Structure 1
Amino acid sequence: MIERLWKYQKTPIALAIVSLVTYYLFAFQLERANTALLLSLYSILFACFYFIVSKGKNDFSLLLVFAVALRLIFIPVIPNLSQDFYRFIWDGRMFTQGLNPYLTTPQSYIEAGNLQIVAQARQLYEGMGALNGSHFTNYPPVNQLIFAIAGLFSGNSIIGAAIVFRTTIILADVGIIIYGKKLLQKLGLPIHNIFWYGLNPFIIIEMTGNLHFESVMLFFVVLSLYLLAQGKWILSAVMIALSISTKLLPLLFLPLFMQYFLTRGDRKTTHFRSSYPWKVRFREITKNLPRLVYFYLIVIGVVILTFLPFLTNEFAENFGASIALWFKKFEFNASVYYIIRYIGYQTIGWNIIGDVGPLLPKIVLGFLIVMAFFRNNRSLQATITAILISISFYFLMSTTVHPWYVATPLLLCVFTRYRFPLVWSATVMLSYAAYGANGFNENLWLVAIEYIIVIVFFIWEVYRPSKVTIVAKTAIES
């Protein structure tokens, strides 16, 4: 059996062994400030990943084994590229003591000398950093539940909590691969496409390695889409609600389901607003409207239920203030916003984030409305494509784009003909160059390179579809 496997899958196995060694170095030897080593190791991993999927695409089970094995390397490791998990542990330990994590900040306890509020309070606060510790938590209830589970099962062990987080994320990624395969089959696409997500070193490093919970959110998203493809729209609504209660991002998806529900996923017409006489369209929409309304009501109801245990008079104010900070204060790895900021400096002489930041979400909302009403989103694949384009536009308009945010467009793209998020998953790691030995200092030339490559590739995909199809069939089989 082993000899036969080696005979037919020699290249993927050899590259997987190289990846194992490289991931070990990444997990145990790398410091975030060592940008040269980080980018070198990542380049090796990305090249290996590309050829593993390309050469081993006919053996789904083997690729799944690789996906799990490569993640297991990170099990006993403290994340070396992100400090966020310290805040996760803090929130979880507060929750297990019956305290509402949304009502106070870690800094308030530290300054009051109330170090017994959670075990290892000082260590956790120093780990998360003063910036994180000075703000109210913005992690939704499903995340808080996972944090609490880690608090229950890890005791006072930081590495124990990290292992609980990591196990949850690995299980979520396995679920994504399994249900992603099922969804690809429903859409008539190659099942190995899911490994452009599942074996991507960006995903393995940012989710399993750095303990970001986009994987859990995306598991619920994929399960929701699969259930929708099966016609189980009630369960689909519950799953999309759970994804929102993990990360708020899927709230942006909701308007884009409108056409799919109002037309029952009919592919016959090319435009939502034409092709049928208006009386026929009106009858069709009227007939299907209740299902859309019920879908939205279920989503809203489940989200409210998950937040219900935390609701107090102070909750909305604190949670809203924390979310608003991302638009008014924080700047990292942005694209369009940095151009606007530069224009502001040149024209009025100061940073205009306080004015522009709140305006950008309104632009995104306008874009979502256009995508919902004026693009053909009648089939499920067309709906997924609309979500992909809309989420990517949202990130282009954002003032802060952490690397792990790219996980969402990356997963969505495997169910479409687009692959620009795959390119983005390679270039986004350039953003870590901001964390040098002398502290934080963002290199805007590297940010420009990151986005120029992605945008140019996207334009190429849009305006040269025949060329993309040829490349997709021969290289990554879109």
Structure 2
Amino acid sequence: MRSRLPIFFTGFASLLLYFFLTQLSYQFNWGEGYSERPILTYLAIYFSLCVLYGLTWFFVRRHPEDRGNFWTIIIFGLLFRAVLLPSQQIQEDDVYRYLWDGKVFANGINPFEYAPAEVHAFKALRIQNPESYYEIYVERNERELEQLDALKWESPRSVKFLERINHPDVPTIYPPMAQFVFRLVHQIKPDSIVALRAGFLIFDILALVFIIGILSRLGMDKTGCLIYFWSPLIIKETFNSTHLDIIGISLLCGAIYFLIRQRHTLATFFLALSFLGKLYPIILFPLFLQAYYEKTIEEGKNAWSRILRNSVLFMGVVFLGYLSFLGIGLQMFDGLKAFTMYWQSNDSIFAILAFIFKNVLGGFATEMTLSNPLPIFLSKVTVVIILTGVLFWLLLKRTSLLQQPVEFVRGLFWIMALVFLLSPVQNSWYLCWVVPFLCIFPQRSWIVLTGLIGFYYLDFYFDYQELQAFSHWIPWVEYLPFYFLLGLELRESRIQNRVTEQVD
């Protein structure tokens, strides 16, 4: 019992901080009081939570396989989420797009077809420039836009939420699995942020169950789930910011769990659903196929037949996921195209690549390629080459899932980690995709980064205080300590491997 007292203390202290965070959130009113927003106070609470999180992990590691600690972790993790559920958004507004997409889809209209701005502007365009209007819209479009306009005005909250959507001139970028979740939540309770968070809680708990299953299957201490379930990053970005990433994260955890259990059909099914949740996990599919091949060869069966069946299953699930939206053809990818081509935010390695190419190219740096400045285009090509190279290296390395399951999962971890590190958009919630892997590989560098990434919100403070010159330094504060610690860990790992080889 005494071994649990420190965890009770850190858990209770964290619970109080989450309560204060909820109270503080009501000072973040959309569209008003920007310069008075208590962003620095929020950061003080967030970093305090991160310190308590680190201390708790230290205490938990001293008493592995403690059943009481395990249930303490679960109970406090649920309490943290319950306290934050009614909070107001802190500096994030993606949720308003989710609610609108769900409303549009639930009313039988393709959410990928119309940008929110079209709902505001179509009547004015019809009056002021009817010729252009009827070149753009046919009778079906006109009927659907009238329906969307009626949905906009069905309640004061509906109008308010639609007007809060960011980038309203861009159609939705969120893939099919997310759209089905948004639709279901709307059908249960329209225009409800709390209902959406409750829906995300189901996926969050599902992720926890799969993480515990993975740890058990790998012969690891189940209390390692603390790294996920107490993560301030996961809790804030899912239950306050209300970001949808938890949908794909939970399904990816399921895919890895079933992969380790050699349940290939279920692993493929969950990986396809995870792809439909946020697209990233498709990069892992070749490694899944390699694991299928190894197991089938061991069983003395036709490996290529199993690979073909699972490939068809993956493509079939993806096709069925997109089927409801294919009526508008490639137009459904217009929002995603805009995001991948033009967005760049909070990046580290990508920003360095762009800087290098800009200086190397000199006068050619202003040339445009595929709607991107040449340095940005070349940086994106470099990222693709690096990710492809690492993926091929892992495939050629042929780490055995049967003989070395932990090392195989480490390969999946590094691919997903590189997807984040090399991305031109490194929003803080994108790091959530790495957190479940930290339950298996609790590296200091990555755990520290889940705290440091909180400085992302400092950019808003500098903007509101008209101190934009300082914003350029934020990524350095976030990432330099991380890369330093990561370098030390890689060096230690290399030394350990050499010692092991000499002993062998």
Q: Which band: TM-score by shorter chain?
A: 0.7 to 0.9
TM-score, length of structure 2 as denominator length: 0.80
Q: Is the 8 A contact 1:92 1:144 kept in 2?
A: yes
Q: Which residue pairs with 1:318 in the alignment?
A: 332
Relative to structure 1, is the Cα distance of residues 41 and 116 closer, same or farther in structure 2, using a 3 angstrom cutoff? Answer: same
Aligned ranges for residues 26-425 of structure 1 at < 5 Å?
A: 26-30=21-25, 31=28, 34-56=38-60, 58=66, 59-113=69-123, 115-118=149-152, 119=154, 120=157, 122-129=159-166, 131=167, 133-155=168-190, 158=191, 161-264=192-295, 287-312=302-327, 314-319=328-333, 321-346=334-359, 347-348=362-363, 350=366, 352=374, 355-356=377-378, 358-379=380-401, 380-416=405-441, 418-425=443-450
Q: Which runs of 4+ in 1 moved over 3 A?
A: 30-35, 117-122, 283-287, 343-346, 348-354, 416-420, 438-442, 466-469
How far did 1:86 drift? 0.2
How far did 1:368 drift? 4.3
Q: Is the 8 A contact 1:264 1:378 kept in 2?
A: no
Q: Is the 8 A contact 1:138 1:323 kept in 2?
A: yes
95-104 or 171-180: which moved more?
A: 171-180
Q: Which residue pairs with 2:138 in the alignment?
A: none
How far did 1:366 drift? 2.2
SS at match of 1:377: coil
Relative to structure 1, is the Cα distance of residues 361 and 103 closer, same or farther in structure 2, using a 3 angstrom cutoff? Answer: farther
For residues 375-404 of structure 1, the C-alpha deviation after alignment (integer angstroms, 9 at most, x for no partner) is: 343223223211211222222221111111
For residues 261-315 of structure 1, the C-alpha deviation after alignment (integer angstroms, 9 at most, x for no partner) is: 22229xxxxxxxxxxxxxxx9x999942322222222111111111111112x34
Q: Which residue among 484, 488, 491 is the counterpart of 1:463?
A: 491
Aligned residues: 440
97-106 or 339-348: which moved more?
A: 339-348
How far did 1:369 drift? 3.7
How far did 1:357 drift? 5.6
How far did 1:337 drift? 1.8
Q: Which residue among 424, 432, 450 is the counterpart of 2:478?
A: 450
436-445 or 214-223: which moved more?
A: 436-445
Relative to structure 1, is the Cα distance of residues 223 and 439 closer, same or farther in structure 2, using a 3 angstrom cutoff? Answer: farther
Relative to structure 1, is the Cα distance of residues 36 and 172 closer, same or farther in structure 2, using a 3 angstrom cutoff? Answer: same
Computing the radius of gyration from Cα coordinates, the structure with the larger value is: 2
SS at match of 2:295: coil
Relative to structure 1, is the Cα distance of residues 60 and 104 closer, same or farther in structure 2, using a 3 angstrom cutoff? Answer: same
Relative to structure 1, is the Cα distance of residues 299 and 191 closer, same or farther in structure 2, using a 3 angstrom cutoff? Answer: same
Q: Is the 8 A contact 1:103 1:315 kept in 2?
A: no
Q: Is the 8 A contact 1:423 1:454 kept in 2?
A: yes
Q: Which residue pairs with 2:16 in the alignment?
A: 21
Relative to structure 1, is the Cα distance of residues 289 and 414 closer, same or farther in structure 2, using a 3 angstrom cutoff? Answer: farther
CA distance in 2, matches of 1:136, 1:364: 30
* Letter of the 1:63 counterpart: I
Q: Which residue pairs with 2:136 in the alignment?
A: none
CA distance in 2, matches of 1:373, 1:216: 27
Relative to structure 1, is the Cα distance of residues 413 and 52 closer, same or farther in structure 2, using a 3 angstrom cutoff? Answer: closer
134-143 or 7-16: which moved more?
A: 7-16
CA distance in 2, matches of 1:192, 1:172: 20
For residues 212-245 of structure 1, the C-alpha deviation after alignment (integer angstroms, 9 at most, x for no partner) is: 1222212111122222222211112111111111
Q: Unaligned regions of 5+ residues in structure 2, if any?
A: 29-33, 124-145, 367-372, 498-504
287-296 or 438-447: which moved more?
A: 438-447
SS at match of 1:443: helix
